[in-house]
Amino acid sequence: MDNNIKILTKFEFYNPKFEYEAIFPDLDWPWAGHKYFAYDLVRNIKPKTIVELGTHKGTSFFSMCQAVKDEQLDCNLYAIDSWEGDKQAGFYDNTVLNEVKEIKDKFYKSLKINLIKKYFDDALLEFEDNSIDLLHIDGLHTYEAVRHDFNNWISKVKKDGIVMFHDIAEKKEDFGVYKLWDELKNKYSSLEFFHSHGLGVLFLKPQQNNIFCFPDIWSHYYDKTFNLNVCQTYKAEINLKLEKIYKEIDKEISYYQSKNLDLIKKIEEINRSISNDEIKLNKIFLSKYFKLWQTYCNIKKIIKK
Protein backbone atom coordinates (compact mmCIF):
# COMPACT_ATOMS: atom_id res chain seq x y z
CA MET A 1 0.00 0.00 0.00
CA ASP A 2 1.27 3.46 -0.97
CA ASN A 3 0.93 5.60 2.15
CA ASN A 4 1.29 9.26 1.24
CA ILE A 5 0.35 10.83 4.56
CA LYS A 6 2.92 10.37 7.29
CA ILE A 7 2.60 10.95 11.01
CA LEU A 8 3.82 14.47 11.60
CA THR A 9 6.37 15.41 14.21
CA LYS A 10 5.91 19.14 13.70
CA PHE A 11 3.03 21.19 12.36
CA GLU A 12 3.95 24.34 10.45
CA PHE A 13 1.75 27.45 10.46
CA TYR A 14 1.61 29.62 7.33
CA ASN A 15 0.28 33.05 6.47
CA PRO A 16 -1.15 32.55 2.97
CA LYS A 17 -2.54 34.99 0.45
CA PHE A 18 -5.71 33.44 -0.98
CA GLU A 19 -5.74 34.56 -4.60
CA TYR A 20 -9.36 33.51 -5.19
CA GLU A 21 -10.55 36.28 -2.84
CA ALA A 22 -10.04 38.75 -5.70
CA ILE A 23 -13.16 37.24 -7.32
CA PHE A 24 -14.85 35.65 -4.30
CA PRO A 25 -14.37 37.69 -1.07
CA ASP A 26 -15.63 35.11 1.40
CA LEU A 27 -15.05 36.84 4.74
CA ASP A 28 -18.66 36.32 5.84
CA TRP A 29 -19.12 32.80 4.46
CA PRO A 30 -19.63 29.86 6.86
CA TRP A 31 -16.35 28.08 5.98
CA ALA A 32 -14.11 31.17 6.14
CA GLY A 33 -13.07 30.47 9.73
CA HIS A 34 -11.46 27.14 8.76
CA LYS A 35 -9.65 27.99 5.54
CA TYR A 36 -6.33 28.72 7.29
CA PHE A 37 -6.44 25.30 8.94
CA ALA A 38 -7.33 23.57 5.65
CA TYR A 39 -4.47 25.39 3.95
CA ASP A 40 -1.96 24.47 6.66
CA LEU A 41 -3.20 20.88 6.81
CA VAL A 42 -2.61 20.35 3.08
CA ARG A 43 0.85 21.93 3.16
CA ASN A 44 1.84 19.78 6.12
CA ILE A 45 0.47 16.36 5.10
CA LYS A 46 1.19 16.81 1.36
CA PRO A 47 -1.66 14.64 0.02
CA LYS A 48 -1.74 13.09 -3.46
CA THR A 49 -5.52 13.08 -3.79
CA ILE A 50 -8.08 15.48 -2.29
CA VAL A 51 -11.82 14.97 -2.78
CA GLU A 52 -14.53 17.38 -1.67
CA LEU A 53 -18.21 16.48 -1.52
CA GLY A 54 -20.09 19.78 -1.67
CA THR A 55 -18.14 22.77 -2.95
CA HIS A 56 -20.71 25.50 -3.58
CA LYS A 57 -18.68 28.71 -4.23
CA GLY A 58 -15.40 27.14 -3.12
CA THR A 59 -14.04 28.59 0.15
CA SER A 60 -12.83 25.20 1.41
CA PHE A 61 -11.83 23.84 -1.99
CA PHE A 62 -9.85 26.86 -3.15
CA SER A 63 -8.12 27.25 0.21
CA MET A 64 -6.76 23.72 -0.35
CA CYS A 65 -5.96 24.53 -3.99
CA GLN A 66 -3.95 27.52 -2.78
CA ALA A 67 -1.94 25.24 -0.49
CA VAL A 68 -1.25 22.77 -3.32
CA LYS A 69 -0.12 25.63 -5.55
CA ASP A 70 2.10 27.29 -2.93
CA GLU A 71 3.68 23.98 -1.87
CA GLN A 72 4.00 22.89 -5.53
CA LEU A 73 2.45 19.52 -4.76
CA ASP A 74 1.72 16.82 -7.30
CA CYS A 75 -1.90 16.44 -6.21
CA ASN A 76 -5.23 15.63 -7.85
CA LEU A 77 -8.08 17.80 -6.58
CA TYR A 78 -11.72 16.81 -7.10
CA ALA A 79 -14.70 19.06 -6.36
CA ILE A 80 -17.95 17.10 -6.58
CA ASP A 81 -21.22 19.01 -6.51
CA SER A 82 -24.52 19.17 -8.35
CA TRP A 83 -24.16 22.97 -8.27
CA GLU A 84 -27.93 23.14 -7.95
CA GLY A 85 -28.09 23.78 -4.19
CA ASP A 86 -30.31 22.08 -1.62
CA LYS A 87 -33.04 22.90 0.88
CA GLN A 88 -30.50 24.05 3.49
CA ALA A 89 -28.11 26.09 1.32
CA GLY A 90 -30.83 27.28 -1.03
CA PHE A 91 -31.15 26.59 -4.75
CA TYR A 92 -29.32 28.47 -7.50
CA ASP A 93 -28.58 28.52 -11.24
CA ASN A 94 -25.35 28.06 -13.23
CA THR A 95 -23.96 31.39 -12.04
CA VAL A 96 -22.21 29.73 -9.08
CA LEU A 97 -20.52 27.02 -11.15
CA ASN A 98 -19.43 29.60 -13.74
CA GLU A 99 -17.78 31.65 -10.99
CA VAL A 100 -16.01 28.55 -9.67
CA LYS A 101 -14.72 27.81 -13.20
CA GLU A 102 -13.56 31.42 -13.55
CA ILE A 103 -11.54 31.18 -10.30
CA LYS A 104 -10.07 27.83 -11.35
CA ASP A 105 -8.99 29.12 -14.76
CA LYS A 106 -7.65 32.44 -13.53
CA PHE A 107 -5.70 31.43 -10.42
CA TYR A 108 -5.24 27.64 -10.40
CA LYS A 109 -5.03 26.69 -14.06
CA SER A 110 -1.74 24.82 -13.58
CA LEU A 111 -3.23 22.47 -10.95
CA LYS A 112 -4.85 19.09 -11.56
CA ILE A 113 -8.36 20.26 -10.69
CA ASN A 114 -11.42 18.22 -11.63
CA LEU A 115 -14.85 19.85 -11.27
CA ILE A 116 -17.37 16.99 -11.30
CA LYS A 117 -20.98 18.14 -11.69
CA LYS A 118 -22.71 15.07 -10.29
CA TYR A 119 -24.56 13.86 -7.24
CA PHE A 120 -22.18 12.24 -4.75
CA ASP A 121 -23.51 8.71 -5.28
CA ASP A 122 -23.13 9.01 -9.05
CA ALA A 123 -19.46 9.97 -8.71
CA LEU A 124 -18.48 7.01 -6.53
CA LEU A 125 -17.49 4.76 -9.43
CA GLU A 126 -14.88 7.28 -10.58
CA PHE A 127 -12.71 6.48 -7.54
CA GLU A 128 -10.96 3.30 -6.53
CA ASP A 129 -11.05 1.99 -2.98
CA ASN A 130 -8.20 3.18 -0.75
CA SER A 131 -7.29 6.04 -3.12
CA ILE A 132 -8.17 9.31 -1.32
CA ASP A 133 -5.79 11.00 1.13
CA LEU A 134 -8.08 13.80 2.27
CA LEU A 135 -11.89 13.71 2.01
CA HIS A 136 -14.06 16.70 2.90
CA ILE A 137 -17.79 16.00 3.39
CA ASP A 138 -19.94 19.14 3.20
CA GLY A 139 -23.16 18.22 1.41
CA LEU A 140 -26.69 18.11 2.79
CA HIS A 141 -26.32 18.36 6.58
CA THR A 142 -29.14 16.16 7.86
CA TYR A 143 -28.01 13.20 9.97
CA GLU A 144 -29.28 10.69 7.41
CA ALA A 145 -27.59 12.44 4.47
CA VAL A 146 -24.17 12.90 6.06
CA ARG A 147 -24.17 9.36 7.48
CA HIS A 148 -25.02 8.06 3.99
CA ASP A 149 -22.17 10.08 2.45
CA PHE A 150 -19.67 8.87 5.05
CA ASN A 151 -20.67 5.20 4.75
CA ASN A 152 -20.55 5.39 0.95
CA TRP A 153 -17.18 7.09 0.69
CA ILE A 154 -15.16 5.78 3.63
CA SER A 155 -13.91 2.79 1.62
CA LYS A 156 -12.45 5.22 -0.93
CA VAL A 157 -10.23 6.82 1.72
CA LYS A 158 -6.77 5.42 2.45
CA LYS A 159 -6.24 3.57 5.71
CA ASP A 160 -4.12 6.47 6.95
CA GLY A 161 -6.36 9.10 5.35
CA ILE A 162 -8.21 12.05 6.85
CA VAL A 163 -11.92 12.95 6.67
CA MET A 164 -13.27 16.44 7.45
CA PHE A 165 -16.86 17.34 8.34
CA HIS A 166 -18.25 20.87 8.43
CA ASP A 167 -21.09 22.06 10.72
CA ILE A 168 -20.41 19.73 13.65
CA ALA A 169 -21.49 22.53 16.03
CA GLU A 170 -24.66 23.44 14.15
CA LYS A 171 -27.85 22.16 15.84
CA LYS A 172 -30.60 24.33 14.33
CA GLU A 173 -33.55 22.97 12.34
CA ASP A 174 -32.71 19.59 10.73
CA PHE A 175 -28.90 19.88 10.87
CA GLY A 176 -27.54 16.58 12.16
CA VAL A 177 -23.80 16.42 11.44
CA TYR A 178 -23.13 16.81 15.17
CA LYS A 179 -24.96 13.51 15.84
CA LEU A 180 -22.77 11.56 13.42
CA TRP A 181 -19.70 13.38 14.70
CA ASP A 182 -20.47 12.32 18.28
CA GLU A 183 -20.58 8.72 17.07
CA LEU A 184 -17.42 8.84 14.97
CA LYS A 185 -15.07 10.81 17.22
CA ASN A 186 -15.21 8.01 19.77
CA LYS A 187 -14.15 5.46 17.16
CA TYR A 188 -11.27 7.35 15.54
CA SER A 189 -8.53 9.78 16.46
CA SER A 190 -10.04 13.21 15.99
CA LEU A 191 -9.69 16.97 16.19
CA GLU A 192 -12.59 19.38 16.49
CA PHE A 193 -13.09 23.12 16.17
CA PHE A 194 -16.30 24.76 17.35
CA HIS A 195 -16.02 28.18 15.72
CA SER A 196 -17.48 28.93 12.26
CA HIS A 197 -20.23 26.30 12.72
CA GLY A 198 -17.67 23.68 13.70
CA LEU A 199 -15.17 21.49 11.85
CA GLY A 200 -14.52 17.85 12.72
CA VAL A 201 -11.35 16.12 11.52
CA LEU A 202 -11.09 12.31 11.62
CA PHE A 203 -7.69 10.59 11.42
CA LEU A 204 -8.26 7.02 10.28
CA LYS A 205 -4.84 5.89 11.47
CA PRO A 206 -4.77 5.61 15.29
CA GLN A 207 -2.88 8.37 17.11
CA GLN A 208 -2.28 10.16 13.82
CA ASN A 209 -3.63 13.33 15.41
CA ASN A 210 -0.97 13.53 18.15
CA ILE A 211 0.69 16.58 16.60
CA PHE A 212 -2.65 18.40 16.69
CA CYS A 213 -3.17 17.98 20.42
CA PHE A 214 -1.03 20.92 21.45
CA PRO A 215 -3.04 23.88 22.79
CA ASP A 216 -1.42 26.34 20.37
CA ILE A 217 -3.09 24.72 17.36
CA TRP A 218 -6.48 25.42 18.90
CA SER A 219 -5.69 29.00 19.89
CA HIS A 220 -3.93 29.74 16.60
CA TYR A 221 -6.98 29.06 14.43
CA TYR A 222 -9.38 30.54 16.94
CA ASP A 223 -7.33 33.74 16.88
CA LYS A 224 -7.28 33.68 13.07
CA THR A 225 -11.06 33.38 13.06
CA PHE A 226 -11.42 35.99 15.78
CA ASN A 227 -9.45 38.42 13.63
CA LEU A 228 -11.67 37.56 10.66
CA ASN A 229 -14.76 38.16 12.79
CA VAL A 230 -13.35 41.48 14.01
CA CYS A 231 -12.80 42.51 10.40
CA GLN A 232 -16.30 41.34 9.55
CA THR A 233 -17.78 43.29 12.47
CA TYR A 234 -15.76 46.36 11.53
CA LYS A 235 -16.93 46.00 7.94
CA ALA A 236 -20.55 45.77 9.15
CA GLU A 237 -20.10 48.89 11.31
CA ILE A 238 -18.60 50.79 8.37
CA ASN A 239 -21.49 49.69 6.17
CA LEU A 240 -23.99 50.92 8.76
CA LYS A 241 -22.23 54.27 9.01
CA LEU A 242 -22.14 54.57 5.23
CA GLU A 243 -25.80 53.64 5.04
CA LYS A 244 -26.60 56.40 7.55
CA ILE A 245 -24.54 58.92 5.58
CA TYR A 246 -26.25 57.91 2.34
CA LYS A 247 -29.66 58.36 3.96
CA GLU A 248 -28.69 61.86 5.11
CA ILE A 249 -27.44 62.70 1.63
CA ASP A 250 -30.68 61.37 0.13
CA LYS A 251 -32.64 63.58 2.52
CA GLU A 252 -30.62 66.64 1.48
CA ILE A 253 -31.07 65.82 -2.19
CA SER A 254 -34.80 65.29 -1.67
CA TYR A 255 -35.05 68.60 0.21
CA TYR A 256 -33.35 70.60 -2.52
CA GLN A 257 -35.19 68.69 -5.21
CA SER A 258 -38.47 69.65 -3.55
CA LYS A 259 -37.31 73.26 -3.28
CA ASN A 260 -36.27 73.15 -6.89
CA LEU A 261 -39.65 71.70 -7.85
CA ASP A 262 -41.37 74.52 -5.95
CA LEU A 263 -39.25 77.07 -7.83
CA ILE A 264 -39.97 75.38 -11.13
CA LYS A 265 -43.69 75.40 -10.36
CA LYS A 266 -43.56 79.15 -9.57
CA ILE A 267 -41.67 79.87 -12.79
CA GLU A 268 -44.18 77.78 -14.72
CA GLU A 269 -47.03 79.71 -13.08
CA ILE A 270 -45.41 83.07 -14.02
CA ASN A 271 -44.82 81.85 -17.57
CA ARG A 272 -48.43 80.74 -17.80
CA SER A 273 -49.55 84.12 -16.45
CA ILE A 274 -47.35 85.99 -18.96
CA SER A 275 -48.60 83.75 -21.71
CA ASN A 276 -52.20 84.45 -20.70
CA ASP A 277 -51.50 88.20 -20.59
CA GLU A 278 -49.94 88.06 -24.05
CA ILE A 279 -52.99 86.25 -25.38
CA LYS A 280 -55.27 88.89 -23.82
CA LEU A 281 -53.16 91.70 -25.26
CA ASN A 282 -53.18 90.11 -28.70
CA LYS A 283 -56.93 89.83 -28.51
CA ILE A 284 -57.15 93.51 -27.56
CA PHE A 285 -54.80 94.59 -30.36
CA LEU A 286 -56.79 92.62 -32.88
CA SER A 287 -60.17 93.80 -31.65
CA LYS A 288 -62.19 96.39 -33.68
CA TYR A 289 -62.53 98.56 -30.58
CA PHE A 290 -58.76 98.84 -30.22
CA LYS A 291 -58.47 99.68 -33.91
CA LEU A 292 -61.18 102.37 -33.57
CA TRP A 293 -59.44 103.77 -30.50
CA GLN A 294 -56.12 103.77 -32.37
CA THR A 295 -57.77 105.65 -35.29
CA TYR A 296 -59.28 108.16 -32.90
CA CYS A 297 -55.87 108.80 -31.32
CA ASN A 298 -54.31 109.39 -34.72
CA ILE A 299 -57.07 111.88 -35.74
CA LYS A 300 -56.66 113.70 -32.44
CA LYS A 301 -52.91 114.12 -33.09
CA ILE A 302 -53.65 115.61 -36.55
CA ILE A 303 -56.17 118.10 -35.17
CA LYS A 304 -53.68 119.29 -32.54
CA LYS A 305 -51.14 120.02 -35.20
Q: Is 246 or 213 the better-scoring residue by pLDDT? A: 246
Residue 242, pLDDT score: 65
DSSP code of 72?
A: T
Domain boundaries, given as residue ranges, for the chain: 19-213
Contact 130, 1 (CB under 8 A): yes
Domain 19-213 CATH (choose: 3.40.50.2030, 2.40.40.20, 3.30.540.10, 3.40.50.150): 3.40.50.150
Q: In sequence order, what are the residues at sequence separation of 6 or more whose Cβ sits closer than 8 angstroms to the Cβ of residue 89?
A: 56
3-state secondary structure of 207: coil
Flag whether pLDDT at 99 surpasses 70.
Answer: yes
Q: Which of 130-134, 148-152, 195-199 has the lowest mean pLDDT?
A: 195-199
Mean pLDDT of 197-225: 74
What Cα–Cα distance (Å) separates residue 171 from each residue in 120, 177, 189, 194, 247?
Answer: 24, 8, 23, 12, 38
Q: Is the model's pLDDT at 231 over the cut of 60? A: no
**Tens digits of residue pLDDT in 1-55:** 455 555 566 788 999 999 999 999 988 888 999 999 999 999 999 999 999 999 9
CA–CA distance, 106 with 62 (Å, rounded to integer) = 12
Q: Indicate the pTM of the whole model.
A: 0.72
Helix (H, G, I), strand (E, B) or coil at 135: strand
- Nearest-angstrom CA–CA distance, 102 and 99: 5
76-81 and 49-53 as β-strands: parallel, antiparallel, unpaired?
parallel
At position 238, the amino acid (one-letter code) is: I
Residue 234: its pLDDT value, please?
46
